[in-house]
Amino acid sequence: MADNVTYWPHPTRLPVSVSRVLDAAQTCQAVLILGTDVEGDLYAAASLSDKATLLYWLEQFKHKLLAGDYG
């Protein structure tokens, strides 16, 4: 039944479910996941171990977030 669902392909200010975000990430070559667990503690996982790349991704995200690129 879910295979006939079409998602809005534009950014939203509304919350998106974790499962939907993770499903979309399956097309990625590598990922970094940051979040909080059910107790509110930081959760972090990555599909690669290159610290320089992970730090670069974090800094790029921070720059774009502060510049308003994510609404």
For residue 18, which of 45, 56, 57, 53 has the smallest C-alpha distance? 45
Residue 2 lies in a domain: no
46, part of any domain: yes
Q: Is 43 domain-assigned? A: yes
**Average pLDDT taken over every residue of the chain:** 89
Q: What is the total count of domains within the chain? A: 1
- pTM for this one? 0.76
Whether 41 maps to a domain, the answer reads: yes
Q: Could you tell me the residue range of the domain that residue 49 belongs to?
A: 16-67
- Measure CA 42 to chain center: 14
Residue 8 covered by a domain: no
Residue carrying structure tokens 């097309």: 27
pLDDT tier, 14 (very low <50, low <70, confident <90, very high otherwise): confident
Does residue 7 have a pLDDT over 90?
no
